[in-house]
């Protein structure tokens, strides 16, 4: 079991790593050392500075380093968890190498989404660097027999599933969705998902549990788009005007974005293909039952809270 853990990319306010950090520090007694990697060459803002001060004041360690690739920062940790966002995922092999050199033997790569081994996911642009990271871990495992990892899979985070990036115009109660009204996806709230993740850190790496190369599949429910819009309508009190589009037409959009060099547009088009083909439906069996003490909120409860939150205007484009 892990005693000393280092979180990379978990300081950014509102990021998934931030949710995990908040759950983790509620009961730190399980660990002897919890630290946060602060890449000092990365941009910072007042919110990030304040968060660093808050973590320090609560007694958590901040490891300042000018890049992710120097082993020193990873010394003394059993487990490194990466929460890097889409644009930082390509850095994970270098992080893994540096951490291995420092003696780390377990990684949580920044997965936290669909099962990338399912359907056509493995070859999609959106997952390029998640795939590369898994391949890198496999290659390293040939040299280092005690190397381990945890793939923590959840489908989609409910709060993120209805934002403009995925075709939702909440301000005008409209949506353009690639796929059909019966298309499904697996959803769980960010906070519940973070809670489950923290519990996985407490499970032993023994063969009686899941061993040292683990995959957890933990989600909440598999609603269709029709069900999601019914919920959104109850939550917002407005009827959504939804247009369903041919999934495969996103291939052209992806190709155009690639030519123009617009990476965000390329990722968005790639995600439409994944989503429209039900690539974010998390295959069963799920591992929720390992942690019966957690009772995840349903989609409606989660969206009610999210739309009532301070950040809703920003996150849901309601301004
Ligand atoms: N399944 C879902 O629905 C869902 C939803 C959201 C996220 N996720 C997953 O959760 C993980 C984190 O995503 P996120 O949206 O929370 O990430 P994010 O907010 O975009 O980024 C998290 C952190 O990564 C670091 N970072 C970002 N871009 C970087 C770059 N170009 N170079 C170096 N570092 C960079 C930053 O850390 P610093 O601030 O320290 O520089 C940032 O705060 C990803 O694997 C993502 O796929 C899944």
Q: Does ligand 1 lie within 6 Å of residue 109's CB atom?
A: no
Instruction: Tell me what pLDDT residue 313 has.
Output: 87
pLDDT digits (tens, 9 = 90+) for 207-241: 999 999 999 999 999 999 999 999 999 999 999 99
Ligand 1 pocket test, pick from 35, 81, 88, 89 with the greatest ligand atom count within 8 Å of Cβ, gives 88
Q: What is the mean pLDDT of residues 173-177?
A: 97
Q: In angstroms, rounded to a whole number, what is the distance separating the alpha carbons of residues 259 and 241?
A: 32
Indicate which atom in ligand 1 lies nearest the CA of residue 17.
16
Q: In angstroms, rounded to a whole number, what is the distance separating the alpha carbons of residues 253 and 251?
A: 5
Residue 39 token pair = 């890449």
Q: Is the dihedral of CA 252, 131, 165, 248 positive or negative?
A: positive
The model's pTM is 0.97
Ligand 1 pocket test, pick from 14, 16, 153 with the greatest ligand atom count within 8 Å of Cβ, gives 16
Indicate which atom in ligand 1 lies nearest the CA of residue 114.
1
Residue nearest to ligand 1 atom 2, measured at CA: 156
Please state which of the ranges 283-287, 303-307, 312-316 shows the lowest mean pLDDT: 312-316
| Terminal alpha carbon distance of the chain | 46
Instruction: Tell me what pLDDT residue 319 has.
Output: 81
pLDDT digits (tens, 9 = 90+) for 263-296: 999 999 999 999 999 999 999 999 999 999 999 9
Residue 302 token pair = 């989660």
Q: Does ligand 1 lie within 6 Å of residue 160's CB atom?
A: yes
Instruction: Tell me what pLDDT residue 173 has.
Output: 97
Instruction: Tell me what pLDDT residue 257 has.
Output: 96
155 neighbors 282 (Cβ within 8 angstroms): yes
Residue 138 CB neighbours (<10 A): 12
Share of the chain above pLDDT 70, in %: 100
Indicate which atom in ligand 1 lies nearest the CA of residue 113.
1
Q: Please determine, for residue 51, whether its predicted confidence score (pLDDT) is greater than 90.
A: yes
pLDDT digits (tens, 9 = 90+) for 186-205: 999 999 999 999 999 999 99
Residue nearest to ligand 1 atom 14, measured at CA: 85
Give me the sheet containing 174-178, strands edge to edge: 168-169, 174-178, 241-245
pLDDT digits (tens, 9 = 90+) for 118-156: 999 999 999 999 999 999 999 999 999 999 999 999 999
Q: In angstroms, rounded to a whole number, what is the distance separating the alpha carbons of residues 315 and 280?
A: 21
Mean residue pLDDT of the chain comes to: 97
The most distant pair of C-alpha atoms in the chain lies apart, rounded to whole Å, by 57
Share of the chain above pLDDT 90, in %: 96
What separation in Å is there between the alpha carbon of 39 and the centre of ligand 1?
Answer: 13
Q: Which helix (H) or strand (E) holds 168?
A: strand 168-169
Q: Which helix (H) or strand (E) holds 243?
A: strand 241-245
199 neighbors 167 (Cβ within 8 angstroms): no
Q: Please determine, for residue 311, whether its predicted confidence score (pLDDT) is greater than 90.
A: no
153 three-class SS: strand
38 three-class SS: strand
258 neighbors 266 (Cβ within 8 angstroms): yes
pLDDT digits (tens, 9 = 90+) for 14-38: 999 999 999 999 999 999 999 999 9
Q: Please determine, for residue 40, whether its predicted confidence score (pLDDT) is greater than 90.
A: yes
Q: What is the mean pLDDT of residues 55-77?
A: 97
């Amino acid at each position: 079991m892990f005693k000393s853990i280092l979180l990379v990319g978990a300081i950014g306010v509102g990021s998934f790593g931030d949710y995990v950090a908040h759950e983790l520090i509620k009961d730190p007694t399980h660990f002897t050392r919890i630290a946060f990697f602060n890449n000092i060459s990365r941009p910072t803002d007042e919110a990030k500075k304040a968060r660093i001060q808050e973590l320090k004041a609560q007694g958590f360690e901040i490891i300042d380093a000018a890049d992710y690739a120097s082993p020193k920062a990873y010394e003394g940790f059993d487990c490194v968890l990466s929460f890097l966002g889409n644009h930082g995922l390509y850095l994970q092999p270098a992080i893994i190498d540096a951490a291995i050199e420092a003696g780390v033997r377990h990684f949580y790569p920044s997965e936290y989404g669909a099962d990338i081994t399912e359907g056509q996911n493995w070859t999609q642009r959106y997952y390029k660097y998640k795939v590369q990271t898994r391949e890198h871990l496999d290659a390293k495992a040939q040299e280092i027999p005690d190397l381990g990892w945890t793939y923590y899979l959840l489908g989609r985070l409910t709060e993120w599933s209805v934002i403009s990036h995925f075709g939702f115009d909440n301000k005008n109660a409209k949506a353009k969705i690639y796929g059909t009204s019966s298309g499904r996806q697996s959803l769980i709230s960010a906070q519940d998902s973070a809670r489950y993740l923290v519990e996985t850190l407490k499970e032993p790496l023994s063969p009686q549990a899941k061993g040292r190369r683990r995959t957890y599949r933990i989600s909440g429910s598999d609603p269709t788009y029709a069900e999601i819009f019914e919920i959104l309508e109850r939550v917002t009190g407005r009827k959504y005007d939804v247009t369903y589009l041919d999934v495969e037409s996103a291939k052209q959009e992806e190709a155009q974005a690639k030519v123009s060099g617009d990476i965000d547009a390329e990722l968005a088009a790639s995600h439409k293909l994944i989503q429209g083909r039900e690539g974010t439906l998390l295959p069963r069996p799920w591992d929720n039952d390992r942690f019966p003490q957690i009772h995840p909120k349903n989609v409606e409860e989660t969206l009610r809270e999210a739309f009532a939150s301070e950040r809703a205007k920003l996150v849901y484009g309601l301004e």
